[in-house]
Amino acid sequence: MIYNKNLKIAGRPLECIILILLMLCTSSANAQPTKEDSVAVKSIFSKSLDDQKGWENLRYLSKNIGARINGSPQLQRAIEWAKAELSHMQLEKVYLQPVMVPHWERGGKEYAAIHVKDSTLSLSVCALGGSVATNGYLKAKVVEIKSWEELKALSKKEVSGKYVFFNRAMDPTDAESFNAYLKAVDQRAIGAIEAAKKGAIGALIRSLTLSIHDYPHTGAMQYNDKVNKIPSAALSTNSADLLSSLLKSSPDLEIGLKMTCATFPDTVSYNVIGEISGSQYSDEIITVGAHIDSWDLSESASDNGSGVVQAIEAIRILSHMKTKPLRTIRAVIYTDEEQSATGGLTYAEEAKRLKERHIACIESDAGGFVPVGFRMSGDSAALASLKDMMGLFAPYNCSGIEHDPRGVDIAPMREQAKAIISLDCSDHRFFNIHHSALDTMDKLNKREINLGTGAMTSLVYLISKYGL
């Protein structure tokens, strides 16, 4: 087309039409953040750092409701509480999304002991989530392994009728604790399957923590319907070290274990969703979320009460801003992240069924510690836009960008959203308490949680303004 400055469309000069189109493009994608954005981000962080409501909510969720495992009255109470909190904001929509979740109960307190010579030494132990029971006091010899290669090298005769003791510790030389966790978690996840293939009667897993203490750390484990299901339990790191030491001098010692856990039929739970409709691009959705379910050993303030209050406070702050967001913002409080991730899967399936257009899905599930930035994945244009925004986070020391988001709930949206993003936090203290009785509110710091709220809220604000 040849440019003609005198050309008019609907009575308007072409220059005017071009200017309008440029303005629309600038408001919808890849715009460079401005001084005005810096002021807005500063205001959001100021509101977040001065916030008292989030800390009060964390106290209520942790102390008044407590552990929130699938199928428990506490999880249902937490869901109703989250819905009430969102409803108080007078958002356009607040609703529950039904989710079918597995229902496993720990039963009575587990007991384990080492029987060596004429002595009986108690161990700190807990069942892994989803484990079968021992059906009484199950006593047998032990074979210790520290790698899959060691297990593979053992004959079925050497393992049959024994416990397999997986004693591969998290790597203390890895500067990032989460990486050390990811490299060791496979033994918890599939240890019972691989041990059973060799004829073992049970699996004992060293707790996934770098701390040396007497608190066992639970977590999800798996079975294969084609392989015999054997009990699987976590030993505290102190107990694991004791067992390993005694096996060197007394290889014929025995372990006794009693667990009364049980699995029940799947039950209904709910994702909690609250929504602010976008003023211009209401069909473009940004989610900010966290999972509300937990394991049953503690009040689970860090994993993931902290993320829940950050997501709730993010949408609260945004709903109180003078200007309505251009794009639709959803707070999504997911259920069942810990056991089978059906909350995130159900959300993704429903979004696909409704043909919704998600431009970003953001999650906080990094323990509530000091934020250092974000972990992102998505198309190249979206990542370029996000990178441009990160300069605004430098004054708050959380402008870092890493790949491979770690939010389990947002992972199913990878193919549907332009970007999936997880808040990235310092993880040096996270695995000290992760999935254990130590996960209590006194381990957290209000200012660190509020900084995370500010970071998440600011990112949602910027994506809502510019798109991706």
Q: State the Cα–Cα distance between residues 279 and 458, nearest whole angstrom.
A: 18
Active site residue 110: no
Using alpha carbons, select from 128, 138, 148, 166 the residue that is nearest to residue 244. Answer: 166
Beta-ladder partners of 423: 374
Helix H or strand E encompassing 273: strand 262-276
Instruction: Looking at 154-222, list the stretches that DSSP marks H as alpha helix, in order from N- to C-terminal side.
Output: 156-159, 177-197
| Phi–psi pair at 406, nearest 5 degrees | -110, 15
| Phi–psi pair at 373, nearest 5 degrees | 155, -145
Using alpha carbons, select from 267, 265, 264 the residue that is nearest to residue 99. Answer: 267
**By the 8 A CB rule, do 181 and 208 touch?**
yes
Q: What are the residues whose beta carbons fall under 8 Å from the beta carbon of 384, sequence distance 6 or more?
A: 30
The tokens describing 4, both together, are 């003609």
Catalytic residue (one of 85, 144, 313, 337): 337
Using DSSP, how many helices (H) and how many strands (E) does the chain show? 13, 18
Q: State the Cα–Cα distance between residues 363 and 449, nearest whole angstrom.
A: 14
The tokens describing 151, both together, are 């297990």
| Phi–psi pair at 463, nearest 5 degrees | -65, -40
**By the 8 A CB rule, do 395 and 143 touch?**
no
Q: State the Cα–Cα distance between residues 310 and 451, nearest whole angstrom.
A: 9
Using alpha carbons, select from 353, 332, 331, 346 the residue that is nearest to residue 100. Answer: 346
Active site residues: 337
